[in-house]
């Protein structure tokens, strides 16, 4: 039997997998690839962002609720999923911000935080890994730690001398960072909304993004996946404590999203195979080396 292509998506919290790269994953699942989401924390300290779900019984059982939400999103996306077992660090607010909680994910020594991911890589044997950039995509301590752990695991998993108790070595071939908020995408959406006489729901959001002065990574890879935007949205809504279905995220009609920007965007951070950028496939260069 030919070997199947394998993609691993590493995320900090439940719901991150549905807001970053979800349509890409669904596309590859439908094309026959195996896809595994590794969720590093349980999201225990996440705020309830959907007013309809802000009830005492949910607040008291938020860890269990978020696991159930993740299970439903996983089912919708058609992917495999596993938790690494770390505790959410929360998002400290204030000036100066308060210290992070003792024992949380972001305070773990790097080798301790990376070991479960090394084990997962050696077990699942992905050809491609996706994660966040060095600043986490946005400055949440768990997202920043997610990058550190992903880079450590990518570089260590193939080395038999590192993490020797964590399974047989396996070296992934490519590592990507999500490019979640490319300005040109939101500019194009605004233009099409204006043509239809519709208000741009992302105007305030993009101003906040500018104020944060996030790193603008070069888009090296665009995966066309607008056919699966509706599935992505259903998976997002499954995270009911985190996603208000009436929020601005869902205010742009899918046909406008498809016309404006039918892609999900990535930055190629590491590659051990020959590939030419720009790419239209996370497995570019991998397909030629894996007998599929």
Q: Which residues are documented as binding site? A: 13, 16, 143
Residues annotated within the binding site for Zn(2+) are 13, 16, 143
Is the CB of residue 225 less than 8 Å from the CB of residue 31?
no
276 token code pair: 């030419």
Binning the chain into helix, strand and coil, the percentages to the nearest 5 are 40, 15, 45
Cα(69)–Cα(81) distance, rounded to whole angstroms? 12
Instruction: Report strand pairing: 174-178 vs 263-271.
Output: antiparallel
User: What beta strand segments (E) does 171-282 contain?
Assistant: 174-178, 221-224, 263-271
C-alpha 120/C-alpha 29 separation (Å) is: 19
Q: Name residues whose C-beta falls within 8 Å of residue 55's C-beta, 6 or more positions apart in sequence.
A: none
Using an 8 Å Cβ cutoff, are 83 and 39 in contact? Answer: yes
CB within 8 Å of 73: residues ≥ 6 apart: 14, 15, 17, 18, 235, 236, 238, 239
Question: What strand order describes the sheet that includes 6-11?
Answer: 80-86, 34-41, 6-11, 128-131, 174-178, 263-271, 221-224
CB atoms within 10 A of CB 57: 7
In sequence order, which residues have a C-beta less than 8 Å from that of residue 101 and are 6 or more positions away? Answer: 45, 87, 89, 90, 107
User: E-strand spans in 165-206?
Assistant: 174-178
């Amino acid at each position: 039997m030919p070997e199947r292509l394998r993609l691993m998506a590493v995320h900090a919290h439940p719901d991150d997998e549905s807001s970053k790269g979800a349509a890409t994953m669904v596309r590859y699942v439908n094309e026959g690839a195996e896809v595994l989401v590794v969720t590093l924390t349980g999201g225990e300290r996440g705020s309830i962002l959907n007013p309809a779900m802000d009830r005492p019984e949910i607040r008291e059982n938020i860890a269990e609720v978020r696991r159930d939400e993740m299970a439903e999103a996983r089912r919708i996306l058609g992917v495999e999923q596993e938790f690494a077992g770390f505790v959410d660090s929360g998002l400290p607010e204030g000036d100066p911000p308060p210290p992070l909680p003792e024992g949380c994910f972001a305070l773990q020594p790097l080798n301790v935080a990376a070991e479960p991911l090394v084990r997962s890589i050696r077990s699942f044997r992905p050809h491609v890994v996706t994660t966040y950039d060095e600043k986490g995509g946005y400055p949440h301590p768990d997202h920043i730690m997610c990058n550190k752990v992903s880079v450590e695991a990518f570089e260590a998993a193939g080395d038999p001398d590192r993490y020797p108790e964590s399974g047989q070595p396996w070296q992934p071939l490519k590592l990507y960072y999500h490019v979640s908020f490319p300005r040109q995408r939101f500019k194009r959406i605004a233009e099409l909304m204006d043509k239809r006489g519709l208000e741009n729901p992302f105007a305030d959001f993009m101003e906040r993004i500018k104020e944060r002065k996030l790193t603008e990574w070069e888009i090296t890879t665009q995966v066309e996946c607008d056919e699966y935007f509706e599935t992505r949205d259903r998976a997002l809504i499954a995270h009911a404590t985190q996603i208000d279905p009436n929020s601005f995220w869902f205010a742009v009609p899918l046909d406008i999203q498809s016309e404006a920007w039918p892609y999900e965007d990535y930055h190629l951070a590491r590659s051990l195979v020959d590939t030419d950028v720009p790419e239209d496939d996370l497995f570019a260069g991998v397909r030629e080396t894996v007998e599929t």
